[in-house]
Amino acid sequence: AAPRPAHGCGSGALLGRFGVLLQALLALCAFSTLMLKRFKEPKAERRPWRIWFYDTSKQAIGALFIHFANVFLSDLTEEDPCSLYLINFILDATLGMLLIWLGVKVVSWIVQHKKYTYLAFGEYGDPPQAAAWIGQCILYLLIMVFEKTVISLVLLIPGWTKLQQILLGYIPSPQLELVLVMFVVPFIVNAIMFWVVDSLIMRKYKQKDTLDINGSTETPRARRTEESQVLLSPDMDFDQSESDQDVSGLQGTSQKMKQPSYQVVI
């Protein structure tokens, strides 16, 4: 077979100086979409910065794991590492997204069934507890490990070499190939993935008030309404009794009134 043209990405290109610069720029631009998402939330439902950090940091840990796993897998063979990385990334964004969704649903069901309140994605207690965040990070990382393992097994299916040649074989410049693989395509796909996954693993802030640490699901508004009714009911009875006495005194009615407490029964 003819050797690969020199325009392809060479071994170690993903971790070279230019590649690392592109990865840092990608991380900055991709996570800016999560900040934009926070500001797009209605003010009544907008998460505090601490809750937002707890939610998005789980994605950051998972994305870093997937990224470095893809870089490692791309340098295992003598094939073009850029095309291998792109194939891994495309599979992560399609089949991997489905696996992440399935993993979040299964883990959430187990947590709800076992009543592990602090392990429910997006719930950190009041005030927020770092221990709950750490536990949720571990659960999310396990989901990402499961996703990457399945994707790696899919890559063992023969026939991916032809797809590698189709994807990037027509690009003559290794720098352009690296920009497309490490910045342009990942930025577009990551922006969509981060937005969707953040909606999966967050709990809307307006729903947090309905959860109590002791397991009560009564809303604060309902509690305030009930308390106000209890506080107002004696005054209403008192006012009503006074008004009845005034009306009876003015009209001279002979209706039998409630006996006062100071009467002595012989």
pLDDT over 60 (residue 261): no
Does residue 229 belong to any structural domain of this protein?
no
Domain count, the chain: 1
Q: What is the pLDDT of residue 236?
A: 46
Domain range enclosing 33: 13-215
- Model confidence at 98, pLDDT cuts 50, 70, 90, reads very high
Distance CA 133, CA 17 (A): 34
Q: What is the pLDDT of residue 164?
A: 66
> Coil, helix or strand for 202?
coil
Distance CA 81, CA 58 (A): 27
Does residue 206 belong to any structural domain of this protein?
yes
Q: How far is CA 234 from CA 27, 60, 179, in A?
A: 61, 56, 74
Does residue 121 belong to any structural domain of this protein?
yes
Distance CA 97, CA 101 (A): 6
Does residue 209 belong to any structural domain of this protein?
yes
Does residue 38 belong to any structural domain of this protein?
yes
Best mean pLDDT range from 160-164, 202-206, 219-223: 160-164
Specify the pTM. Answer: 0.66
Does residue 32 belong to any structural domain of this protein?
yes
130-139, pLDDT tens digit by residue? 999 999 999 9
Does residue 6 belong to any structural domain of this protein?
no
pLDDT over 50 (residue 224): no
Does residue 227 belong to any structural domain of this protein?
no
pLDDT over 50 (residue 257): no
180-201, pLDDT tens digit by residue? 888 888 888 888 888 888 887 7
Q: What is the pLDDT of residue 248?
A: 52
Q: Which of 67, 72, 62 is nearest to 143 (CA)?
A: 62
Long-range Cβ contact pairs of 188-194 (< 8 A, separation 24 or more): 189/89, 189/90, 189/93, 190/26, 190/30, 190/33, 190/63, 191/29, 191/30, 191/33, 192/93, 193/93, 193/97, 194/30, 194/31, 194/33, 194/34, 194/37, 194/56, 194/59, 194/63
